[in-house]
Homo-oligomer: A and B are copies of this chain.
Amino acid sequence: MKLEILTRNEHKELHNLIIANIRDLINRKNLEPGDKLPSERMLSERFEVSRSNVREAIQKLEFYGILKSKPQSGTFVADIGQVAMNGMMNDILALEDPDFKSLVETRILLELKTVKLAAKRRTDSDLERMKAALEAYKVKVLNNEDAVQEDLLFHLAIAQACGNSTINRMMLIITPEIINNFEKYHVCDKNQSQKRLKEHQDIFKAIKEQNTQKAKQMMKDHFVELYKYCYNI
């Protein structure tokens, strides 16, 4: 067989092709939750792709909870049912790359929640972590240095304090994408950094005082600039 190196996009296309093939196979064979898929070797032969590509596609479907691999046993359809599996696979295949607007919209949604929850649930050690992150941010700002990272890390510290591991996970997923777009579009303006620092300090204070409403309002104010920018694209 000819060996071919794929670009990142071709790679994704290949994965989607394999995923679609697996979906069709499950439908044709009427596999139900808990049923076993054909082995990786058979799938790779059947779809005429390498076994490692099949493994990668299966890994992706495992991430979305649709399949489960058991060592030395097989790959199984998860307990989510055939209909749900079909719908979700189609959804996954239709998933496009996130645009900046979608990222910002999601970030604001998540953070207005995390800040409220953090104000309610923060422990003393949470406070310490947040304070440390805030201090690091402060130092950079006062030295008039770029502080995008420290900015975001303070927000991640809030997410960590919100006591919801799922929301925290989602903040982790979007943060690097946010950072990249920040730098790409030069969202952050150094002239405003003093103001931003003040806002961060206000947020921290509200969380410390466990004033949920104030915390949310401070975060909202903090996002106003971003909002504006987002709707101007």
Contact = CB atoms under 8 A, between A and B. Distances in A.
Interface of A: 5-7, 63-66, 71-72, 78-84, 87-88, 91-92, 94-99, 102-103, 105-106, 109-110, 113, 133, 136, 148-150, 152-153, 156-157, 160, 163-170, 172-177, 179-180, 183
A108 to B, nearest CB: 10
A166 B173 CA distance: 10
A19 to B, nearest CB: 13
Nearest to A160: B91
Contact of A106 (B102, B164, B176): B164
Contacts of A152: 84
Nearest to A164: B102
A16 to B, nearest CB: 14
Nearest to A69: B8
Contacts of A179: 79-81, 84
11 contacts: A64-B176, A65-B180, A79-B180, A84-B152, A84-B175, A88-B176, A95-B165, A96-B165, A102-B166, A109-B113, A109-B167
A99 to B, nearest CB: 7
A78 B172 contact: no
Contact of A167 (B83, B102, B180): B102
Contact of A169 (B95, B167, B176): B95
Contacts of A163: 102
Given A71-B5, A180-B78, A106 B166 contact: yes
Contacts of A94: 160
A176 B80 contact: yes
Nearest to A92: B172
B91 A168 contact: yes
A149 B81 contact: yes
Nearest to A103: B166
Contacts of A167: 102, 105-106, 109
A49 B149 CA distance: 31
Contacts of A98: 165-166, 169
